[in-house]
């Protein structure tokens, strides 16, 4: 199907990208101007800003409690933004929708970002908060059942890497991994994936922008050959948690996500790959107000329920 008309209409209003090097400070400030005030956000039973005291240090988190139940399953969420953009506020609406639709308590992680913090600082924070959620289960109100990790775009990279590192370290509490249009191969070799060529221009995120956007992360010490940086390069995927991999038809990174989901299934991991037609990269963040894309949250709920 063609690009969704609402997405096409929005893309037509965007100015051309600025010339010259990317400015993280200015780009972050611009992102924050689009965050709605608290009173306009989806209401939940409770939303609290806390500090997770972890092995990597103190990590700010935002905890979303959907109901007044004493105990809930927990979903630890990592926001996207090419490892240098995004925040608790820019992705607050995703965390709220996840909490409401899944019924889980959502812990959104304010991990350290490039270029200020070198690899693997952000990944370490994500891993540490996931362990903290399990270790502090009584205080957090975890019911001891579901402990899922989820993320969009580069947050999906972190979710896959957290699940893999946890498995290697013998931490077996993670029950699910949920990857929304994840960035799983930071080589960006156009010959490897047809979607890098087919969706190169005209759909928001463009193939030519992948290297400069991810350069802050790579230049901070993240080696694209490292499976914790490019999870698709992990040789043995057996034993990892069940996965939901959501892709977008017009995303340059579509094929690496679908390849990863297929390889998980081949390794014996229960894996669901779900492509959203008419969508481009970032649709969960920017276009989940459209009913056919808001469905991603109920699909997530159904995946968590049956897996």
Q: For residues 260 and 184, is the Cβ–Cβ distance under 8 A?
A: yes
Q: Is 281 a catalytic residue?
A: yes
Q: The tokens of 119 are what?
A: 């690899």
Buried residues in 48-74 as b, exposed as e (16+ CB within 10 A): eeeebebebeebbbbbbbbeeeeebbb
Q: The tokens of 279 are what?
A: 């969508």
3-class SS of residue 248: strand
Q: Is 307 a catalytic residue?
A: no
DSSP 130-146: HHHHHHTHHHHTEEEEE
Catalytic residue (choose from 108, 153, 154, 288) = 153
Q: Is 153 a catalytic residue?
A: yes
- Rounded to two decimals, what is the model's pTM? 0.97
Query: What sign has the CA pseudo-torsion 70, 72, 76, 77?
Result: negative
* Chain segment 87-134, per-residue pLDDT in tens: 999 999 999 999 999 999 999 999 999 999 999 999 999 999 999 999
Catalytic residue (choose from 79, 91, 176, 281) = 281
Catalytic residue (choose from 89, 124, 185, 251) = 251
* Chain segment 174-201, per-residue pLDDT in tens: 999 999 999 999 999 899 999 999 999 9
Specify the residue for token string 């009173």.
39
Distance of CA 109 to the CA centre of its chain: 11
């Amino acid at each position: 199907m063609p690009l969704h008309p609402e997405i096409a209409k929005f893309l037509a209003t965007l100015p051309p990208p600025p010339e010259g090097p990317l400015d993280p400070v200015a780009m972050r400030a611009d992102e924050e101007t689009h965050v709605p005030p608290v009173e306009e956000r989806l209401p939940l039973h409770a939303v609290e800003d806390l500090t997770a005291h972890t092995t990597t240090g103190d990590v700010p988190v935002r905890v979303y409690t959907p109901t007044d139940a004493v105990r809930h399953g927990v979903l630890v969420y990592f926001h996207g933004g090419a490892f240098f953009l995004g925040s608790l506020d820019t992705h607050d609406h995703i965390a709220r929708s996840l909490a409401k639709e899944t019924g889980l308590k959502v812990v959104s992680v304010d991990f350290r970002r490039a270029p200020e913090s070198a690899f693997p600082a952000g990944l370490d924070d994500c891993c540490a908060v996931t362990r903290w959620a399990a270790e502090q289960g009584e205080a957090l109100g975890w019911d001891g059942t579901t402990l899922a990790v989820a993320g969009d775009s580069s947050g999906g990279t972190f979710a896959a890497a957290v699940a893999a590192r946890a498995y290697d370290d013998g931490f077996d509490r993670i029950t699910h991994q949920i990857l929304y249009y994840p960035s799983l191969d930071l080589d960006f070799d156009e010959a490897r994936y047809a979607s890098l060529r087919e969706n190169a221009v005209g759909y928001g995120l463009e193939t030519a922008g992948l290297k400069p956007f991810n350069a802050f992360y790579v230049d901070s010490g993240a080696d694209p050959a490292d499976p914790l940086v490019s999870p698709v390069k992990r040789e043995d995927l057996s034993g990892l948690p069940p996965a939901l991999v959501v892709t977008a038809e017009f995303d340059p990174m579509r094929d690496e996500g679908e390849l990863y989901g297929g390889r998980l299934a081949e390794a014996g991991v229960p894996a669901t790959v779900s492509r959203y037609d008419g969508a481009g990269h970032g649709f969960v963040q920017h276009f989940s107000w459209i009913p056919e894309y808001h469905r991603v949250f109920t699909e997530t709920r159904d995946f968590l329920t049956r897996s």
